[in-house]
């Protein structure tokens, strides 16, 4: 029916964790776009810089692009964080099932621990245990242990 009109919960989470390479709000934009020059403001250091954005992009998108290209410490730090989150999200997509909601839970766990609102999350799926947290360097860390139990009860 009208199944594709609303993004489902996973797409919303993925949208935050795995930001697509396409223009925000315009995922189906053609590969060749007319680019224009606009000034944007880095949201961290408030430096103004000229950026190339697709024609029709909003001032907010120009600011995002300026932030993306800025070389101030905070912009660099935030880009690194985003890359780590994307890398962890890509890994999780290959390991966990979307159909059974495992992936949604793992992506939430990665985001919440990376942002510091949760210290760590332990997930148990079958014989695998996954502990999601961050290490002392601020890297996303996911430790997997596999336990083959020999215990039998009758
Ligand atoms: Zn900046």
Please give the mean pLDDT across all residues of the chain.
86
Domain boundaries, the chain: 9-17+34-146
The answer on pLDDT for 22 being more than 60 is: no
The answer on pLDDT for 3 being more than 90 is: no
Q: How far is the CA of 61 from the centre of ligand 1 (A)?
A: 15
Q: How far is the CA of 133 from the centre of ligand 1 (A)?
A: 28
106: burial class by Cβ within 10 Å (0-12, 13-18, 19+)? buried
- pTM of model > 0.85: no
CB-based contacts of 34: which residues, under 8 Å, 6+ apart?
54, 55
Give percent of the chain above pLDDT 90. 71
Name the pLDDT band for 50 (thresholds 50, 70, 90).
very high
Q: How far is the CA of 67 from the centre of ligand 1 (A)?
A: 6
Higher pLDDT, residue 54 or 28: 54
pLDDT tens by residue, 123-153: 999 999 999 999 998 899 999 999 887 778 8
The DSSP symbol for 14 reads H
């Amino acid at each position: 029916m009208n199944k594709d009109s609303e993004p489902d919960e996973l797409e919303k989470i993925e949208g935050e964790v795995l930001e697509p390479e396409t223009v925000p709000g315009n995922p189906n934009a053609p590969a060749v776009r007319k680019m224009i020059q606009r000034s944007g403001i880095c949201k961290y250091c408030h430096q103004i810089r000229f950026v190339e954005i697709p024609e029709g992009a909003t001032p907010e998108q120009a600011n995002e692009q300026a932030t993306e290209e800025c070389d101030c410490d905070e912009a660099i730090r935030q880009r690194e964080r985003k890359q780590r989150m994307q890398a962890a999200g890509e890994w999780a997509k290959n390991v966990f099932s979307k159909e059974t909601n495992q992936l949604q839970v793992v992506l939430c766990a990665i985001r919440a621990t990376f942002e510091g609102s949760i210290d760590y999350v332990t997930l148990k799926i079958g014989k695998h245990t996954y502990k999601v947290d961050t290490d002392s360097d601020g890297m996303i860390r996911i430790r997997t242990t596999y336990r083959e139990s020999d215990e039998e009860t009758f």
